[in-house]
Structure 1
Amino acid sequence: MKRAHLTDADFMAAAIFDGAVVVLSGSGGGLVEPDHITEAIERRFLATGHPRDLTLIHGLGIGDGVKSGISRFAHEGMVKRVIGGHWTWSKPMQKLAREERIEAYTLPAGVIQTLIREAGAGRHGLVTHIGLDTFADPRHGGGRVNLRARDDLVEVVTLGGKELLWYKPFEIDFAIVRGTTADMQGNLTSREEPADIDAFAAALAAHNRGGRVFAQVRDVCATPITPARAVTVPGVLVDDICVYADQKQTTSGHYDPAISGEAPAPDTRMPPPLPEGIRYIIAKRAAKELKPGACVNFGYGLPDGIPAVAHAEGVDISWTVIEQGSHNGELLGGDLFGATRHASAILKSTDQFDLFSGGGIDIAFLGMGELDAQGNVNVSWLGENIVGPGGFVDITQRTRKVVFCGTFEAKGLEVELEDGQVRIRRHGAVPKLVEQVRHITFSGKRARADGQQVLYVTERAVFELAPEGLRLIEIAPGVDLVRDVLERMPFEVSLHPSLRVAATSAD
């Protein structure tokens, strides 16, 4: 019977050759992040200049936002190409992309993870509807986000008269994954981790395509992992294991069994804190769209305040899901978005993305960076740096109803809620409603063709996606329609015949 090969991180770092394709599993906030291994790879490069010219692939942003995760590879010459679903966890890597020092691509996180899985299954890439008419579509850039990115990673194909995207397969040399514990057969369990993410898919892809799988664990047990269903990655896929006793569950540092789903939810819980100011105004209005019995997704940022408002107002949220794999968990938010407490189920994120792609979500509440007249939304490229979509495209493209949440303007906007009236004390210097979004993360054209219901909620106005484009359906009390809304938009917008003033009082 196979025995686990125990080694150290420096041995693993020395095995990675120049020009290798490396898949890194994990998620931001330290979720299932194999940072002890990546630190060794970085240390070797800084000392010797090798490995260099790597291709780095990651579905979700990985790291602590300062030095770990993706940032371990953010040295000129170390990587030549990065294909990432989320870039904001590494400012140094964003800088390399901005300065044209690497070939930079971004694709939907679920597409990347599923494409890795398809590579492991020996299938010829991924054919899917996800990404049509967005930045991932080759007619809108094909995922390229700088001039050095010249290769065609995506093609438009027609099957059975239906237009789809073909994401071309990866060749993978190394997969770097993490578990909590390994047994002497090399099996890994992630039972004390916040999520499984795509560790199995990454290991499958590297192993089945002749590559190597490096795993980091906190400890090794002398007896087999039980129950057998607790094994996340079977030992047949794992080549080398290093033990790092100081491994943290998340960047918060401590181990919390509620985060790993090992502790049952208490009978009574502390209510989540209500958002304040503009966040409260937007969350309160967005919460009105919740319906009994719905499967709901809440995105990062403004939407993560909606559950607190719903709780305060006695609105039932039947079922919640997020892309890292959690079901019905209490969102932690901030840098730990992706981790939850007291989840009722935790799936592999690859399986969760299948749920999204197939239309399993009833309503999703997502953030909104830019919005244009056609109802397109940009959250993936704002300002000078590429952001990446994370799971945004995968979530929004098949959800029955999408509610985008964002401020009407940015930079300096000051708004207060006073006696049920929205008071704009100071307008923002940067408009968020623009003639044309820079990057199409959500396509109004595609949503209309697919019959999705779409709302755009700001602190002063609510819009809907209509056949002709954006339509204003509601303004907040205290807001002047012409002065505060229409005159501050760069394009004309149709008005709903029953345009109404909404109630936003705190009662």
Structure 2
Amino acid sequence: MDVREIIARRAAQEFKNGEVVNLGFGIPTQAVNYLPEGVEIILHSENGIFGFGPKPSYDKADSDMANAGSEPITLPKGAAIMPLNISLGAMRKGYIDTTVLGALEVDQYGNVANWATKRNDLWWPGIGGAMELTYGTKKIVAALVHTDKNGNSKIVKQCTLPLTGKKCVKTIITDKAVFDVGDKVLVLREVFPGLTVENIKAITEADFVVSENLKEMNLK
């Protein structure tokens, strides 16, 4: 199981029956393929879709049916397609219960940066619809790899990249751990099987305390 699947599988467990859920670019879009049995949600994609379904097999993919990341989707009975302005309006007005966003950095205050890194002195690629989601969604889940390619923590004391949203993240899911965002400090709720609290401290810049109910991540 690669790191992307670990994160997507665990993110899917955050959804509650009946919720309207937005899945952001990258790792979050894979969560649709791991929904827990018996949990029925309405999936939203910011390009203008409510009620889409899991990724189809290669032979059944239709280039006219895709999520905001241009990945193929299915449209089960009851799905709705709408103009982008209506979709963004739904995001701003609070119709989305939970959003799972990919992230470049998340800090212990619940700030998230997910839209830009500096390349050739330019910030790239652009904000997209993530800012509307961080403003209008009831629960923001940040889903990201715990460290960058150099081993540096992406769970930081304070974000250094341009922010997408301030103090909006409620839960952080990585390939190593699950944190809840507390009062200026994170709460370690789950660890990847086989890892210890000391292992997580060694790869995490942000301050965190350990939940009394700490347990291993369930990835079945």
Q: Same-fold call, TM > 0.5?
A: yes
Q: Which protein has greater RCO, CA pairs closer than 8 Å, 6+ apart?
A: 2
- The one-letter code of the counterpart of 2:156 is V
- The one-letter code of the counterpart of 1:367 is G
Matched, 1:493 2:208: yes
- The one-letter code of the counterpart of 2:112 is V
TM-aligned CA deviation for residue 383 of structure 1: 4.4
Aligned to 1:459: 175
Matched, 1:401 2:146: no
In structure 2, distance between residues paired with 1:327 and 1:408 = 30
In structure 2, distance between residues paired with 1:335 and 1:351 = 18
In structure 2, distance between residues paired with 1:383 and 1:473 = 33
More displaced 10-residue stretch of structure 1: 352-361 or 328-337: 328-337
In structure 2, distance between residues paired with 1:335 and 1:352 = 15
3-state SS of paired residue (1:500): strand
Pair 481,469 (structure 1): closer, same or farther in 2 beyond 3 Å: closer
TM-aligned CA deviation for residue 435 of structure 1: 3.4
> Among residues 428, 432, 436, which one is paired with 2:154 in the alignment?
432
- The one-letter code of the counterpart of 2:180 is E
> Among residues 19, 24, 47, which one is paired with 1:294 in the alignment?
19
Contact kept? 2:45, 2:67, Cα under 8 Å:
no
In structure 2, distance between residues paired with 1:304 and 1:329 = 11
Contact kept? 1:379, 1:388, Cα under 8 Å:
no
TM-aligned CA deviation for residue 495 of structure 1: 2.6
- The one-letter code of the counterpart of 1:378 is A
Number of matched pairs: 203
> Among residues 349, 367, 372, which one is paired with 2:84 in the alignment?
349
Aligned to 2:148: 410
Matches within 5 A, 1:316-465: 316-330=39-53, 332=66, 336-337=70-71, 340-342=73-75, 344-384=79-119, 385-411=123-149, 428-437=150-159, 438-444=161-167, 447=168, 454-465=170-181
Pair 323,400 (structure 1): closer, same or farther in 2 beyond 3 Å: same
Matches within 5 A, 1:6-25: none
Contact kept? 2:10, 2:219, Cα under 8 Å:
no
In structure 1, distance between residues paired with 2:16 and 2:107 = 27
Aligned to 1:21: none
Pair 464,340 (structure 1): closer, same or farther in 2 beyond 3 Å: same
- Partner deviation per Cα, 1:479-507 (whole Å, 9 max, x = no partner): 1211x2112222422333x141224353x
Pair 292,494 (structure 1): closer, same or farther in 2 beyond 3 Å: same
Pair 440,461 (structure 1): closer, same or farther in 2 beyond 3 Å: same
In structure 2, distance between residues paired with 1:392 and 1:281 = 23
- Partner deviation per Cα, 1:440-476 (whole Å, 9 max, x = no partner): 11211xx3xxxxx710001111111212343222222
Pair 455,393 (structure 1): closer, same or farther in 2 beyond 3 Å: same
TM-aligned CA deviation for residue 391 of structure 1: 0.7
Matches within 5 A, 1:213-292: 276-292=1-17
Aligned to 2:60: none
Aligned to 1:238: none
- The one-letter code of the counterpart of 1:297 is N
Pair 322,333 (structure 1): closer, same or farther in 2 beyond 3 Å: closer
Pair 459,362 (structure 1): closer, same or farther in 2 beyond 3 Å: same
Contact kept? 2:193, 2:216, Cα under 8 Å:
yes
In structure 1, distance between residues paired with 2:89 and 2:170 = 22
Q: Structure 2: where are the runs of 5+ without partners?
A: 56-65
Normalising by the residue count of structure 1, what TM-score does the alignment of the two structures yield?
A: 0.38
3-state SS of paired residue (2:172): strand
Contact kept? 1:472, 1:499, Cα under 8 Å:
no
3-state SS of paired residue (2:136): coil
In structure 1, distance between residues paired with 2:95 and 2:68 = 26
- The one-letter code of the counterpart of 2:101 is L
Pair 401,410 (structure 1): closer, same or farther in 2 beyond 3 Å: same
Contact kept? 1:326, 1:340, Cα under 8 Å:
no
Q: Percent identity?
A: 25
Matches within 5 A, 1:50-129: none
Aligned to 1:72: none
Contact kept? 2:155, 2:205, Cα under 8 Å:
yes
Normalising by the residue count of structure 2, what TM-score does the alignment of the two structures yield?
A: 0.82
In structure 2, distance between residues paired with 1:485 and 1:350 = 42
3-state SS of paired residue (1:352): helix
Contact kept? 2:147, 2:203, Cα under 8 Å:
no
Runs of 4+ in 1 over 6 A off after TM superposition: none
TM-aligned CA deviation for residue 294 of structure 1: 0.7
